[in-house]
């Protein structure tokens, strides 16, 4: 087995984020924790990142990541490959140390990710009493059948709504992640599912983030993909969803243009991904207009024909 350094976070990087309607510097930290308590989702490869990090390891990881805070990061996003608010994954003493440090260092906003069942009024208060917090929930889809059968997510839309109500009652914010193209859906079904999910989630979410499905290692999605039974979404599909969903809606086209990531024909991927990134910062629909390439006609045909191929990808 590969030796894992438990005192180093999985990853740390700087980027730009939408904050109070403008572009702001942000720091993203992925802590290496014992991992997600659920770890069954068909597209999620994060369970392989879990490792027996102790309280002390987690504190050292966080300290190291914070060395990248200056200059000027106002937003900090902390992911654990699981749930920030799961005390079995991130002990409360570590959580409180992180929250106190962020406050002391003048961070304006924290984004954390958690499964909805870990949101209680006490835990939400622990965050919100210290700093503005956005609770990111991997809703994936508003359709319980798709979430259960295609994603194997293990919670319902009702659970998401309950968590949202707890957070909103305390003055916090909710970000809902939607998954574009869970397995077993045709390209067209995936587009319709994402648009209707954005509309259904809108009353309970202050921000919607569209995740374009990547083929991660050691997942059900990877097994399907290896047998040509899954194709990641077209970037054209992402554009279609962004144009037809209520905002604010953002999308970081991670892995765009690669075989395992969302892709078009290979020639236009860079330009389309760039337009999606730009739109995510400006929320200006004009950033998505005027994009075109020969493969867009192919994509349209795929969307049409896959309705009759029972979910088998055609191109």
Binding site for Zn ion (CB under 5 A): 264-265, 267-268, 293, 295
Q: What's the closest the beta carbon of residue 274 comes to Zn ion, in angstroms?
A: 13
Question: CA-CA distance, 307 to 179, in Å (whole number)?
Answer: 20
Which strands form 132-140's sheet, in the order they lie side by side? Answer: 11-19, 22-30, 75-79, 109-113, 132-140, 173-180, 207-212, 249-251
SS3 82: coil
Q: What is the DSSP string of 31-48?
A: ---S--SS---TT--GGG
Cβ distance to Zn ion smaller for residue 283 or 298: 298
Q: What's the closest the beta carbon of residue 237 comes to Zn ion, in angstroms?
A: 13
Q: What's the closest the beta carbon of residue 281 comes to Zn ion, in angstroms?
A: 23
Residue whose C-alpha is closest to residue 214's, from 259, 184, 154, 251: 259
Residue whose C-alpha is closest to residue 214's, from 81, 42, 43, 47: 43
Vertex 74: Cα angle to 71 and 76 (nearest 5): 105
Residue whose C-alpha is closest to residue 236's, from 273, 210, 284: 273
Cβ distance to Zn ion smaller for residue 84 or 299: 299
Q: What's the closest the beta carbon of residue 229 comes to Zn ion, in angstroms?
A: 23
Cβ distance to Zn ion smaller for residue 58 or 295: 295
Q: What's the closest the beta carbon of residue 267 comes to Zn ion, in angstroms?
A: 5
Question: CA-CA distance, 114 to 88, in Å (whole number)?
Answer: 12
Cβ distance to Zn ion smaller for residue 44 or 302: 302
H or E segment at 78?
A: strand 75-79
Cβ distance to Zn ion smaller for residue 211 or 264: 264
Q: What's the closest the beta carbon of residue 264 comes to Zn ion, in angstroms?
A: 4
Cβ distance to Zn ion smaller for residue 172 or 257: 257
Whole-angstrom CA distances from 238 to 175, 276, 280, 299 are 18, 8, 12, 12
Cβ distance to Zn ion smaller for residue 103 or 301: 301
Question: CA-CA distance, 150 to 143, in Å (whole number)?
Answer: 10
Cβ distance to Zn ion smaller for residue 5 or 267: 267
């Amino acid at each position: 087995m590969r030796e894992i350094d438990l005192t180093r976070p999985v990853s740390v990087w700087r980027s730009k984020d939408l904050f109070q309607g403008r572009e702001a510097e942000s720091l993203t930290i992925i802590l290496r924790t014992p991992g997600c308590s659920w770890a069954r989702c068909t597209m999620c490869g994060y369970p392989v990142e879990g490792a027996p990090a102790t309280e002390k390891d987690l504190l050292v990881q966080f300290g190291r990541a914070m060395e990248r805070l200056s200059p000027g990061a106002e937003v900090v996003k902390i992911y654990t490959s699981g749930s920030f608010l799961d005390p079995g994954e991130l002990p409360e003493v570590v959580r409180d140390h992180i929250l106190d440090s962020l406050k002391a260092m003048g961070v304006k906003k924290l984004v954390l990710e958690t499964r909805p069942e870990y949101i209680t009024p006490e835990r939400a208060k622990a965050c919100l009493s210290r700093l503005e917090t956005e609770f990111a929930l991997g809703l994936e889809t508003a359709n319980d059948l798709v979430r259960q059968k295609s994603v194997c997510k293990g919670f319902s839309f009702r659970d998401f709504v309950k968590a949202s109500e707890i957070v909103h009652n305390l003055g916090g914010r909710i970000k809902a992640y939607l998954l574009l193209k869970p397995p077993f859906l045709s390209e067209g079904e995936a587009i319709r599912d994402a648009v209707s999910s954005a509309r259904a989630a809108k009353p309970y979410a202050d921000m919607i983030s569209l995740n374009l499905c990547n083929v991660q290692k050691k997942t059900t999605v990877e097994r399907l993909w290896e047998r040509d039974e899954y194709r990641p979404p077209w970037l054209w599909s992402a554009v279609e969803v962004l144009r037809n969903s209520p905002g604010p809606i953002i999308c970081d086209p991670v892995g765009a243009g690669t075989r395992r990531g969302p892709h078009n024909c290979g020639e236009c991927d860079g330009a389309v991904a760039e337009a999606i990134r730009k739109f995510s910062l400006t929320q200006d629909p004009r950033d998505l207009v005027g994009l075109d390439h020969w493969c867009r006609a192919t994509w349209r045909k795929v969307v049409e024909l896959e309705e009759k191929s029972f979910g088998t990808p055609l191109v």
